Amino acid sequence: MAAGLPAWLVVTVVAALGFTIGFSKGGFAAVGAVLTPLLSLVLSNVAQAVGILLPMLMVGDVFALYFYWREWDARLVLPLLPGAVVGVVAGTALLAYLPVNVMRWVLALFVLLLVAYKFVSASVSQLRYRPQRWHGPVIGGITGLASAMFNSAGPAYNSYLLLQGVPPLSFAATSALFFTLINLIKLPGYVLAGVIHPALLLTLWWVFPFIPVGLWAGRQLTTRLKPSAFEWVIVALLLASSVLLIWQSR
């Protein structure tokens, strides 16, 4: 845990993030972008935050697959997987061996990229797109790299699916399938690299029940609120977390 922070603050943040994981899987995917940057602010380093989040995300994946069972388009997933494997291997190596302060800077810059994507995402689907065979592996590689380093890989992957003209339900279901596979691919490398700390995870067993609760809340609210209502709140949180990450890395 980060030095100098009260235990109650760390407990509150971790519990809130458990709920947020489920909430993002329940229909508010943009909320998931804040997970790693916020947790990195209260833990010792980025690698520790990413390692803790992976098992939580995998629990969320189980529920997401249940809700979206067989609504996905596997033809969109298969071209991404070869590049994703390469990206995950490279990202895991960087996560394990880059210095702590360097990782904070890299994460802060990545967060700013997520913010920039918010301003261009609306126009992505309007572009004229001609698919090429190499697009899938390249996007898969970029997504695998970002997912392995930060447990967040939205811009490249989302743009790819938007350009395919995927309907909303199929978009959510295909994303659930793809990121379930990505997280399974990441797990062995994380264990070998020492990114996952079993002793620390055992102390956080109480967080996991918050995930299905968050997913239930997300599913309920998707029928009442538009996910876009939260987008500017997420942008503000991302900007604040990137500034704090840079400040911590001084």
Q: Which pLDDT value is given to residue 3?
A: 46
Place of tokens 């845990």: 1
Biggest distance spanned by C-alpha atoms of the chain: 53
pLDDT along the chain (250 residues), means of 10: 62 84 76 78 78 88 87 90 94 87 78 72 60 81 89 77 78 88 94 84 83 83 64 68 65
| pLDDT reported for residue 168 | 74
Separation CA 58–CA 55 (nearest Å)? 5
- The pLDDT value given to residue 25: 78
Residue in this structure with the two tokens 């029928």, named with its chain if needed: 223
Asked whether 143 and 175 are in contact (CB, 8 A), the reply is: no
Per-residue pLDDT at 89:
95
Do 52 and 250 meet the contact criterion of CB atoms below 8 Å apart? no
Distance between CA atoms of residues 142 and 135, nearest Å: 11
- CB of 84 closer than 8 Å to CB of 141: yes
Are 131 and 232 within 8 A, CB to CB?
no
CB 72 within 8 A of CB 173: yes
The dihedrals phi and psi of 196, each to the nearest 5 degrees, come to -90, 130
Q: How far apart are CA 132 and CA 127, in angstroms?
A: 15
* CA distances to 54, 71, 195 from 149, in Å: 11, 28, 11
Domain boundaries, the chain: 7-248
Q: What is the model's pLDDT at position 90?
A: 93
Would you state the pLDDT for residue 184? Answer: 94
Alpha-carbon 39 to chain mean position:
12
- Going 25 to 31 to 33 to 35, the CA torsion angle's sign is negative
User: CA 230: distance to chain centroid?
Assistant: 17
* pLDDT value at residue 126: 58
Instruction: Give the end-to-end CA distance of the chain in Å, rounded to a whole number.
Output: 18
